[in-house]
Amino acid sequence: MKLAFGKLAVYAVTLVAGATVANADCPDYTTYSSSPQGNPSTGPLGLPYMRPDPGCRTFNSTIVEKVITDMKSRLKDPDVARLFENTFPNTLDTTVKYYDPSVNLAFIITGVPQWLRDTGNQFAHYHSLLSLDKELATLVKAVINNEARYVTEYPYCGAFQPPPESGLQPSHNDWADGVIVNPPVDNETVYECKYEVDSLCGFIKLSVSYYEETKDASMMNSNWLSAIDQIFRVINEQSQASFDADFNFISYYNWTGTPGAYSGAVDNAGNGEPKGYTGMVGTHHRPSDDLSVFAFLTPANAMLTVELNNLATILDDAKIAPNVSAQAKKWSKSIEEAIWKHTLVDNIFAYETNGLGSRYVMDDANVPSLLSLPYLGFLNMTHPAYLATRKLLMSRHNPYYAKGKTFSGIGGPHIDAWNPWPMSQVSAIFGTDNDEEILTSLYTIVNNTAGLGLIHESIDIYDTTQYTRPWFAWANSYFAEMLLDLAQRKPHLIFTDNKPYTPGM
């Protein structure tokens, strides 16, 4: 996710002949997705068909094609149907850079590297298909195994280089130049080492969805178990206060940034703002890759408590590592309690707190966000604290809410305050049962793809033809996942009839 527009230029240079899934004669998808391609849809928006040529798709799945056909036959608005058709397969069409089931490894790109967070989200909408398509499940297993290697070695990092087995060359990351990071990293394996606790949640989430659908405990191999151990190491380290009782400064991870660079230089020798102890787990950067203002990011801790609980469930089900399951349950419970105790004031969740009395009331567009708390499984959309917080977030009280003539939503400092992200409107839909609100959010997204039929990162409220990231697989997946959710929860809003649709059935 979250590479600024200026960085897109490097996307095309990583191909090594013969080593990748993609055909070298195929157009670079960033370029391809920047202008309308196939025939327009028959709806008023006339959205183009944007899937790559079949010979250029990076993974084929019969069940994914069936879901597209099924949904297209049921969706009443041809523009929405076209968006589903373009977005649902986008991860498989464009991001499987390398896959070799014989070594149980796959490399999934967002732009150039593999991001733990994005990858988890890029596959989230295929969750229920993993029990129906064995090859798709095998791909996900290979993704998990590759990530387990990364997490075992570098649990503080979030973006990685291709595995050596792929024959793909590592890519140079200009943004990492001059940055000092501790523990130190090898740039042949790590693309960028910003510590974002939700990246680790993304790895757990993908593992949970694989096991839930396949019941294949062979995914939990020694490589995976050591990755899980490293996650607990990070949780232990990052829940501690910055100063101990004698004012010794405790730092397990620090990242300096560079003056003038994308993230700027980081105060306190790369440690950022000091924090107290709360029972939550601190993070260094947000899911946007921006530096955190305060270390305790409420929505990331919400995701962590949910995913640790899910982790315990699959371990117990597979009868593997009861000690790890016990740890997961213990942490899940204490993090949940700390969120309710330390982040809520007058029913409003803070986005960030520091454990010393300071709180930042705002929301950022990326998931995990406060708006997405029901999507994350942390609380019910009817909970009074969610209702009050949601109302505030979709108003001027959230500094990163912005509204123009046709587009509105929540953005973040990653792009700027007047470029909200369509993803925030997807989160809004996951967080309400109100038909009118759902349709308004849905059409706020559908009406604003700059005529390109894909979901972009952010859109300028003053000029909706201006957007960032023509190709953003995570946003495409999230949008498709939301339509599949509506297909079950609110069929009458999007279908010609009121019969719910379950993917693959």
Ligand X SMILES: *[C@@H]1O[C@H](CO)[C@@H](O)[C@H](O)[C@H]1NC(C)=O
Residues in the site for ligand X, rule: CB under 6 A?
A: 21, 44, 54-55, 57-60, 170, 172, 182-183, 187, 229, 232, 251-254, 269, 271, 321, 323-324, 327, 380, 382, 406, 440, 443-444, 447
Q: How far is the CB of 251 from ligand X (least distance, A)?
A: 3
Q: How far is the CB of 221 from ligand X (least distance, A)?
A: 14
Q: How far is the CB of 65 from ligand X (least distance, A)?
A: 10
Q: How far is the CB of 346 from ligand X (least distance, A)?
A: 21
For ligand X, the closer of residues 39 and 447 by Cβ is: 447
In the structure, how many helices (H) and strands (E) does the chain have? 17, 16
DSSP 73: H
Q: How far is the CB of 331 from ligand X (least distance, A)?
A: 10
CA distance 107 to 94: 12
For ligand X, the closer of residues 327 and 366 by Cβ is: 327
For ligand X, the closer of residues 238 and 278 by Cβ is: 238
Q: How far is the CB of 90 from ligand X (least distance, A)?
A: 14
Q: How far is the CB of 59 from ligand X (least distance, A)?
A: 5
For ligand X, the closer of residues 441 and 468 by Cβ is: 441
For ligand X, the closer of residues 22 and 130 by Cβ is: 22
For ligand X, the closer of residues 271 and 366 by Cβ is: 271
Q: Do 327 and 309 contact (CB within 8 A), yes or no? A: no
CA distance 290 to 400: 14
For ligand X, the closer of residues 100 and 361 by Cβ is: 100
**Can you tell me whether residue 181 is helix, strand or coil?**
strand
Q: How far is the CB of 292 from ligand X (least distance, A)?
A: 16
**Can you tell me whether residue 446 is helix, strand or coil?**
helix
For ligand X, the closer of residues 46 and 399 by Cβ is: 46
Q: Closest Cα to residue 86, out of 490, 496, 470, 494?
A: 470
* Torsion angle of the four alpha carbons 57, 62, 63, 67, in this order, in degrees rounded to the nearest 10: 70
List CB contacts of 141: < 8 A, sequence separation 6 or more: 104, 210, 214, 216, 219
DSSP 27: P
Determine the residue with CB nearest ligand X. 251
Q: Do 130 and 214 contact (CB within 8 A), yes or no? A: yes
- Quickly list DSSP for 84-142: HHHHTTHHHHH-EEEEEGGGTEEEE-SSSSEEHHHHHHHTGGGGGGTTT-HHHHHHHHH
